Structure 1
């Protein structure tokens, strides 16, 4: 997955960037069609020189949909873990919906419905 990480108004160290990259790379195991992602790291209260909380925002692009999750916590690592939990759930639901739509039972039901329409038109 292509991932861009942006640290807004501060410089993030490489170990934090590597941690986030490693965590988000694991999302491919839940949904293999992720196109790309963007991560925004923000400091709440950075203007007053007293950082209160750290905010992690993740935007994932999948075919036909865009997922966005925003979490905050005392550290970027814990906020990233919370983002991961929410994204896992969202990706599993998207995958399940995709599989439900393309399941053989639904395809057969649509086919049967089309046949009924053709038969009633003939009368």
Structure 2
């Protein structure tokens, strides 16, 4: 499984990148059918005091899974986005393995 972390118009942060890869790897151990993850960190200073955006695109069997969040820190955005991704993966897993 490949994870690409992109910082859009930002300086790269090794700490954020390492945290992201660690969290994605933990997630993909449970969902081993994930093919690739693209994570984008962006900053939008015009968004009501938040402005730290994290977007995750997952390549999986079937349609791509996508989630995004906008918080006051990249860590909080990453956590919220991963929570949304986890919910979508659980739903997809149920669709792939009906009982």
Greater share of helix: 1
The separation in 2 between residues aligned to 1:45 and 1:36, in whole angstroms, is 29
Structure 2 match to 1:83:
81
Q: Which runs of 5+ in 1 are unaligned?
A: 104-123
RMSD (CA atoms): 1.6
The structure having more radius of gyration, on CA atoms, is 1
Over residues 63-117 of structure 1, what are the superposed CA-to-partner deviations in whole Å (9 max), with x where a residue is unaligned?
12200101010110111100111111100110111101xx5xxxxxxxxxxxxxx
TM-score normalised to structure 2 length: 0.90
Q: Distance in 2 between matches of 1:73 and 1:12?
A: 18
Q: How many residues align?
A: 97
TM-score, normalization by structure 1: 0.73
Give me the whole-angstrom Cα distance separating, in 2, the residues matched to 1:13 and 1:95: 33
Q: Distance in 1 between matches of 2:84 and 2:50?
A: 23
Listed as ranges, the gaps of 5+ residues in structure 2 are none
Give 4+ residue runs of structure 1 displaced > 4 Å after superposition. Answer: none
